[in-house]
Structure 1
């Protein structure tokens, strides 16, 4: 993924959450041919996706969100921990003070550098259509891929992602290429076993991983699969060190490979199953040509290095820095609302800021509870418009929120209650409103505003800052911790697995299992919307967000407020 890309359709829809649905404008979608399927775990590829104009030369119309697609969380029983508690890197060693240690901390950049690039010009690879391809959709296919990766010392990696219909985001596909084959792993179907199967290859310092603009991919690999990368060569960083005209994969494909990118699928809804031939070819091209680009860049870096500047080492150090980052889950704090994109463009008074804060808190809770993005629940633009206008009737609210948002439609009365209650308790926002005005006038920096400490309550369990001004009932951190520790979940599509016991050694024959099946959830800890009854079954989803009886909740103490 290239870090220098334009906002996707989902971002423009107003999603303010972490891990947003970011379409990669640097990616190279393919033309209209679907690769053949072969090998264990492969399946036939369908020929169509969505609505098409069949006229000659017409491009497929691809939307970033297809509302007819079943949610993978429901279809594949994907469970995540959306509580506002820190992400637990359970497979990493820790320091004495509990800080997780990335495997790269014990390694140095020099040992990853290959200074023996051939002087001859690298050979361009065969086209996608002429290269063996496997769509990995089952455990047998994943085992076959793992065995093939044992025999190579380098492989290319990319991910396709969707976050518009989940709070933290979902990795929908993983593309892996060797110098002779292309693979696409269905990471929705195989999510819970990808980590145990692939972890050794990803962290193996003797195997080079070639990726482009890997910043977000590295985070998603950790978040969804507990995969930590060692020995990365990031072609995006190499393009910067070489001071190329542009740094996108789209540009590199055209410059080095003569491949013209078609952006039709940059924001496709990658949750779609089965995948179309066009989507598969688009995804394959993201890794298929990376070896050739890598060979050409490595040769140039070696040739253009001087005694004063080692370009290969510089790229390696940049790549290591990207890999060393550790994923952090978005936390709800007393100033989270101030980070809403576009908020500083509006002159809001204390009452309006109080409404922004209250709606932000409600939106955050619903998004975590239902595992939806905050942009799906209530986009930033709509949230700010509600705060600016402070509607008092359903008719007023409908005029402000012009588009159809399912959660908003189901909560009109509740939103009006939130607006009313917030405006009645807005005194605490007077100082913030004054500070925001100073920021807009250039008299104060935004960093100083958000860094200014406001006392917050600390829970005795996790010691995590929690908002004191609760406008609705929610989960305390004690409840979150209890749910994580006590709940078990059984994945029916994999009879060998249970979250309390993990994968059995018999099931993971040939795969290192140390630390994998000792009560580890593999990144699928119980969701905030899971029942805490101990049955392990998810609570029913509802568009009302669990706030049907607003007055009753308001009359009782908030779980994180002192009684």
Structure 2
């Protein structure tokens, strides 16, 4: 340890000296020094080449023991272009150092002894991430039935017997053809799952059964046939069980079920599913398919498929707590959220991506796996009670319990199918279509041909080596190769950055695939996407127009309906450029035009033509009972010479003349003694005409009253004006200015002699104190403030007060 300390100090001192020298050189004006002395420039170039060569050798040596690729540094400019490669190499070194330190000190702990105890024990801990996946032998190679990755037909169930069967197993193994003409096998427990009736206590609230203490209990590890038989005997006596599995798919093409956890109300089991005799676990169908036992899982969509694929297990009577969390509207639906909500248990979900193939199973992984099912039945009890409380059983749409059970039943009916690669269209779980639709890329036909060829090569190698395609080459590397089209190994490694051992060995093979794909005349990306879209649309149309089964109902005639097809002009599925901003970013000036609207109203119900007769007749259309209407008065044409002469005063009028105070009633206008004869005559004429035309809706009574009032107001104003003129003349003759006051309206306002508005307060104050311009301090304080033109700006809402800084002593957190 002393020698390592000495080496560390020596390296640190050398690095500090080098860093200081480089800092001093960079602070000098190097171009100026080159121009003064050419020998300095030559020496600097030689040192640059030497340092670049040393850096490249260091990077290559560091990359040799990692997945990174050492970048090429021919000159100083290449350092900027390949800086990402330099960072990747340094990151790989730091990750290896971190891994080594963790393995040495054993700092990775969960629900175990403290860090001090672990350090004192001195026992090295195995790293629990996927970094050491390459060092573990593949357990699938030792299975009695080694998985195959090249199946092209349907997946035949692995079952050799069918417990709790309503339909015999032989009748469930009859193959059929799907819509694509591929051979498929039905779900062996489809009839049992569809006819299953959940127990009556699913609709009864009850006190949650308490779980056993987690710290004082443990789980039983099942890794022998004898332990499996003992566990099966105890499971048959339970009414509810909780199930969960751990899956590994990084070093296997289709994946491996690595662990299974099963819990009852009182006991936990952890089953090793990597044993060579793993197919014997099929006996668990005696419990998993038992309709008298309720199976509780969380997020069981993929668990159901993995159990079928690896172990031949099927679940009848499933309750998925994930669907329950969604139905109850929880903000989270993960198992970690439910554990925190109901049990206050903090799950360490970083172990979810651990390598579950490691044996013997570390204590941290053992404890984590056990916690997934230990509390699940208690969570189920609480969620069931809450579902019942929030359900309306009289309305099926508001029955949350029924909704969760139906979704759980659909999850249990999922069926595994072999991943078949589609080269042309890229459909299926292993195809390229789903990947390229999630990425907004635009490929030329040549690039698209290379993309499909590389994707197909990666899938083929993964099947041959039984490796995950992601482990061989990540998805972003496939896109990078299609864009840059590398033609040699150095360019290929530079593009992919992280090179897996399989890619390093088979790099020449991939280069040949890329070269061949470049020479092929491949299709256009948009054409293929359009073809797939049309194919899916036609499948939907066929499903919509499928002939329903015949129904023997003679009382109602058959109605043949034609489905409505969309005839809209749909935009292309993938555009060359983004149209999110419209024409804003296409260059040129954008004209600001006022939008003009064109009134074009289309009514669902037609209205009758709006003619003059409809508005003239107050009753509108004819009465529904056929009652005859009164005849309308027709106006006959009268020549001008025979017409009654009109009053010229009423031809043109001013609204102000007819306005004034409130209108008087007819009685008040009649009693007015000052009423003019003209108004009386008009009213009499109107009253006579009114008696002769009772059907007319226009009433002239208010108009006559207005004319009479106008005549009265005119006379009244005239008398006031004459009286006012007399008073003003008398006041001027006597010289009394107080009588004038503000009554004289004829005098214009003189702006030149008027006081300033800004000094209005001072002028008014001086006038109030007898003309004195000097006041004492007390009077100035009492004086009204001067005119402030910005006073209204303070009416705006005030913002938050300035934050208080924390000082010594008593806290000011809540001071305002």
TM-score interval (norm. to shorter): 0.5 to 0.7
The separation in 1 between residues aligned to 2:280 and 2:535, in whole angstroms, is: 42
Name the SS of the counterpart of 1:266 in structure 2. helix
Name the SS of the counterpart of 2:491 in structure 1. helix
The separation in 2 between residues aligned to 1:63 and 1:434, in whole angstroms, is: 38
1:395-443, Cα deviation, whole Å (9 max, x unpaired): 2112112112111101111111100101111x2323xx2336xx6xxxx
The separation in 1 between residues aligned to 2:538 and 2:194, in whole angstroms, is: 38
Residue in structure 1 matched with residue 774 of structure 2 by the alignment: none
1:139-538 correspondence runs (5 A): 139-189=225-275, 192-306=278-392, 307-308=394-395, 309-334=398-423, 335-336=425-426, 337-340=432-435, 344-425=439-520, 427-430=521-524, 433-435=525-527, 447-448=533-534
Residue in structure 2 matched with residue 63 of structure 1 by the alignment: 130
1:226-278, Cα deviation, whole Å (9 max, x unpaired): 11110011111111111112111111001111111222202111011111111
Deviation of 1:283 (Å): 0.3
- Which of the pair has more CA radius of gyration? 2
Indicate yes or no: 2:112 matched with 1:33.
yes
CA contact (8 A) 1:164 1:375 kept: yes
Deviation of 1:219 (Å): 0.7
Distance 1:249 1:205, change over 3 A: same
Deviation of 1:193 (Å): 3.0
Distance 1:132 1:263, change over 3 A: closer
CA contact (8 A) 1:341 1:380 kept: no
Indicate yes or no: 2:176 matched with 1:87.
no
Name the SS of the counterpart of 1:79 in structure 2. coil
Deviation of 1:359 (Å): 1.4
CA contact (8 A) 2:244 2:260 kept: yes
1:497-555, Cα deviation, whole Å (9 max, x unpaired): xxxxxxxxxxxxxxxxxxxxxxxxxxxxxxxxxxxxxxxxxxxxxxxxxxxxxxxxxxx
Name the SS of the counterpart of 2:243 in structure 1. strand
1:466-486, Cα deviation, whole Å (9 max, x unpaired): xxxxxxxxxxxxxxxxxxxxx
Deviates more, 1:201-210 or 1:221-230: 201-210
The separation in 2 between residues aligned to 1:77 and 1:106, in whole angstroms, is: 30
The separation in 2 between residues aligned to 1:237 and 1:147, in whole angstroms, is: 30
Deviation of 1:379 (Å): 1.7
CA contact (8 A) 1:122 1:292 kept: yes
Q: Which runs of 5+ in 2 are unaligned?
A: 1-107, 114-122, 160-168, 177-183, 427-431, 540-816
Give the TM-score, by structure 2 length.
Answer: 0.46
Deviation of 1:132 (Å): 4.2
Deviation of 1:73 (Å): 1.8
Deviation of 1:120 (Å): 4.9
CA contact (8 A) 1:102 1:324 kept: no
Residue in structure 1 matched with residue 141 of structure 2 by the alignment: 74
Distance 1:63 1:378, change over 3 A: closer
CA contact (8 A) 2:447 2:518 kept: yes
Q: Which runs of 5+ in 1 are unaligned?
A: 1-28, 35-46, 52-60, 454-563
Deviation of 1:342 (Å): 6.6
The separation in 1 between residues aligned to 2:125 and 2:256, in whole angstroms, is: 20
The separation in 2 between residues aligned to 1:317 and 1:65, in whole angstroms, is: 42
1:187-222, Cα deviation, whole Å (9 max, x unpaired): 001553344321221111111111001001001000
Name the SS of the counterpart of 2:135 in structure 1. coil
Distance 1:355 1:69, change over 3 A: same
The separation in 1 between residues aligned to 2:538 and 2:151, in whole angstroms, is: 21
Deviation of 1:116 (Å): 5.8
Deviates more, 1:402-411 or 1:217-226: 402-411
The separation in 2 between residues aligned to 1:263 and 1:423, in whole angstroms, is: 45
The separation in 1 between residues aligned to 2:243 and 2:399, in whole angstroms, is: 26
1:340-391, Cα deviation, whole Å (9 max, x unpaired): 2576422111111111111122211111111111111222111111111111
Deviates more, 1:127-136 or 1:351-360: 127-136
The separation in 2 between residues aligned to 1:76 and 1:199, in whole angstroms, is: 21
Name the SS of the counterpart of 2:201 in structure 1. coil
Distance 1:62 1:255, change over 3 A: same
1:291-335, Cα deviation, whole Å (9 max, x unpaired): 100011111112222111222221111101000010112111122
Deviation of 1:447 (Å): 4.0
CA contact (8 A) 2:243 2:373 kept: yes
CA contact (8 A) 1:30 1:262 kept: no
Distance 1:262 1:106, change over 3 A: closer
Residue in structure 2 matched with residue 480 of structure 1 by the alignment: none
The separation in 2 between residues aligned to 1:370 and 1:110, in whole angstroms, is: 42
Distance 1:253 1:281, change over 3 A: same
Deviation of 1:150 (Å): 1.5
Deviation of 1:90 (Å): 4.8
Give the TM-score, by structure 1 length.
Answer: 0.65
The separation in 2 between residues aligned to 1:64 and 1:237, in whole angstroms, is: 34
CA contact (8 A) 1:115 1:302 kept: no
Where is the helix percentage greater, Structure 1 or Structure 2?
2
CA contact (8 A) 2:251 2:468 kept: yes
